[in-house]
Amino acid sequence: MKKALLLAVLLSALVLAACGGGPGGGPAAGPASAPAQADTASESASDGPQLADQLSVYNWTDYIADEVLIKYEEQFGVDIIYDTYASNEDLLAKLSAGATGYDVIFPSDYMVSQMIELGLLAEIDVTQLSNFANIDPAFANAPFDPGNAHCVPYQWGTTGIAYKLDDPAFADGAPDSWAYLYDIALLEQYADRGINVLNDQRELIATALFYLGYSPNTQDRAQLEEARDLILQAKPYWKTFNSEDYDDSLLIPGEVALSHSWNGDAANAIWNTMDDATGQSEWGYAIPEEGAVKYLDNICIPVSSERYETALHFMNFLMEPENAAAITNFTYYPSPNLAAREFIVEEILNDPGIFPPEDVAAKLQWLTDVGDAVFTYDEMWTAIKGQ
């Protein structure tokens, strides 16, 4: 498990060079969705709504602090059933196949818009969520969910490159280009020491598109085929496709020299390999100069949930400042909750690899819904994983 540590800021380990466009828009909200039915619940431990005896939470791996879950269970008498997934596509596939029983899910921006179109998300009314006022306006009313009619912001971040600081291949500087995943001459310098890429369709294809100078949201088939071919050319040099536990299983033990990485996972590796005596870590994090993805993960309720009121109550609980801060202090991912900042560990709050400065943040790009081109992405991904 990840541990939140009070450690020094690693400015020298983080490269913040980025370029690219700003946020893109998703489609308007789809047809109205309603919860399957009201809770059949036991009495809440407070004066709030009737709460169910159980709540099923489906989240990314290591993406919430255990203390927050325990606090909710103890305070409100609700038993949380917790399950995890490795990618947005895994989440979508499970719900689309008819899986029921999940009450709270955490899809990323572009996936929210797809789920709205498919009628998979229940509607919410943020005026009924007292803690929604804590959310930074910059993350509210996002294009993929106008008016926050279905979801509220949870955590956000960037996707770049984590790298071993002592590897000879990086002696002259950080790998601040996606060429370090795709240029054969570069790959040959460190491939024998291990390269990991995220097992995530949109994220990985986006790296190739950035490198080729295209939009990470392109719907052009020729551009996507070019990205596919680039990935297939580099794939023999990659050791693993891992987006679930790569920070703990690959980065921290030093099983790879470089990894396509979410910034929070890179921070976990950086801080958990730091030498207490020297203050030096084994890992660094770079945002490639061609541009990189920024993402916003969200708290949503599946339309099939039978514990809607309890799910809504839990959603509001997660937006309490102390709880939102505890999550960031555990995951190392930045919180969109302004009121949480006073409770976030200072070293995390001041780390530019976690909370990038405005000039860098303004140059990152969202992944947005690509419409019917999603089938082309699926086709490219099948070819990438199948060869």
CATH number for 326: 3.40.190.10
Q: Are residues 186 and 238 in the same domain?
A: yes
SS3 46: coil
In a domain, 325, yes or no: yes
Q: What is the number of structural domains in the chain?
A: 2
Provide the 8-state DSSP code for 36: S
Percent of the chain with pLDDT over 90: 81
pLDDT of residue 4: 33
Q: Are residues 306 and 260 in the same domain?
A: no
In a domain, 35, yes or no: no
Q: Are residues 221 and 277 in the same domain?
A: yes
pLDDT of residue 49: 79
82 sits in which H/E element: strand 79-85
Q: Are residues 317 and 176 in the same domain?
A: no
Residues of the chain with pLDDT below 70 are: 1-48
Return the bridge partners of 284, or none: 163
> CA 258 from chain center: how many Å?
19
Q: Are residues 372 and 228 in the same domain?
A: yes
Helix, strand, coil percentages, rounded to 5, for the chain: 40, 15, 40
Please state whether beta strands 151-164 and 294-300 pair in parallel, antiparallel, or not at all (unpaired). antiparallel
d(CA 9, CA 274): 11
User: Which pTM was predicted?
Assistant: 0.79
In a domain, 184, yes or no: yes
pLDDT in tens, 198-219: 999 999 999 999 999 999 999 9
d(CA 372, CA 369): 9
pLDDT in tens, 78-91: 999 999 999 999 99
Q: Are residues 241 and 334 in the same domain?
A: no
271 sits in which H/E element: helix 263-272
In a domain, 48, yes or no: no
Q: How many CB atoms lie within 10 A of CB 120?
A: 23
pLDDT of residue 39: 53
Q: Are residues 166 and 265 in the same domain?
A: yes
> Which domain, by its residues, includes 204?
11-22+159-293+368-386
Q: Are residues 252 and 380 in the same domain?
A: yes
d(CA 240, CA 220): 28
